[in-house]
Amino acid sequence: MHAFPDIDRLKARLDQHRPLDPAIVRNLREDLIVRWTYHSNAIEGNTLTLQETKVALEGITIGGKTLREHLEAVNHRNAILYLEELVQQNEPLSEWGIKSIHQLILKGIDDDNAGRYRTINVRIAGANHLLPDQVVVPELMERFIAWYQTEAMSLHPVERAARVHSDFVKNHPFVDGNGRTSRLLMNLEFMKAGFPPAILPVERRLAYYQALDADHVHGQREAFVQMVATIVREGFGPYFHALSLPWVEVF
């Protein structure tokens, strides 16, 4: 079990200022939804820029961009809103919840597979990890939830969120949309634990894939857990800036 004293100090400092001013919360939330949607979709090949993502979420069509890319932006935003509902209702992680998130991600893009576990075998292009056979996916997901309800509860939220992300992707239960869903599930853990959501920048996509591959192929979790810890620390930045809090006092 990892210790994350620097992250715990950041959270304790932020907690001292809660509840935050509603105007600050609104501003941070709007910015977060745009950045989270942009980076998560860009990792998967969506070509909308950050500014284009913002405009698309306002309901404006971007010339030269596909309908799918517009839908991916809107769907991802709607999935974030659903996460907020799950947090407010204190809903435990479940297969139903996972399928509901995935259904929102693929809505209007691939309705036949949205929210349904895959019934074919697939490969991840460029990855060394061979994905589980489709026939064992339901059993793997049952085990995943059972692990979450028991062992995962004793882990630090950062390690738990990293494991949720990595183990879910290793199972690869859906034909498409596993990456987006895994990052949403990771941040669902952070939001439930009172942490700011952590955004994985598209610029670190290669290191991200390499860290996941090291975990899935060789069982080397450390690089991925540390990558998640880094983006968690960065996630506090906008909050500290909005509150005019210096970083230096925390460390």
Please give the DSSP secondary-structure letter assigned to residue 4: -
**C-alpha–C-alpha distance, residues 215 and 15, integer Å:** 33
Each residue's pLDDT tens digit in the chain (251 positions)? 577 999 999 999 999 999 999 999 999 999 999 999 999 999 999 999 999 999 999 999 999 999 999 999 999 999 999 999 999 999 999 999 999 999 999 999 999 999 999 999 998 777 777 899 999 999 999 999 999 999 999 999 999 999 999 999 999 999 999 999 999 999 999 999 999 999 999 999 999 999 999 999 999 999 999 999 999 999 999 999 999 998 654 44
Question: Scanning the structure block, which residue is given the tokens 């769907």?
Answer: 75
CATH of the domain at 74: 1.10.3290.10
Please give the DSSP secondary-structure letter assigned to residue 116: S
**Burial (CB count <10 Å: 0-12, 13-18, 19+), residue 249:** exposed
Please give the DSSP secondary-structure letter assigned to residue 176: S
Domain range for 171 is 22-120+132-245
Whether residue 13 is contained in a domain is answered as: no
Nearest 10 degrees: Cα torsion 35, 193, 85, 36: 10
Whether residue 30 is contained in a domain is answered as: yes
Q: Is 250 helix (H, G, I), strand (E, B) or coil?
A: coil
The one-letter amino acid at 190: F
Whether residue 97 is contained in a domain is answered as: yes
Q: Per the structure, how many domains does the chain have?
A: 1
Whether residue 103 is contained in a domain is answered as: yes
pTM score of the predicted model: 0.95
Calculate the CA 230 to chain-centre distance: 14
Whether residue 152 is contained in a domain is answered as: yes
pLDDT at 249: 47
Whether residue 15 is contained in a domain is answered as: no
Q: Is the dihedral of CA 213, 214, 219, 222 positive or negative?
A: negative
The one-letter amino acid at 164: V
pLDDT at 125: 73
Whether residue 5 is contained in a domain is answered as: no
Whether residue 17 is contained in a domain is answered as: no
3-state helix, strand, coil in the chain (%, to 5): 65, 0, 35
Residues annotated as catalytic are 172
In Å, how far are 28, 148, 154, 181 from 217, measured between CA atoms? 37, 21, 25, 21
Helices (H), 89-197: 95-105, 137-149, 157-171, 178-192
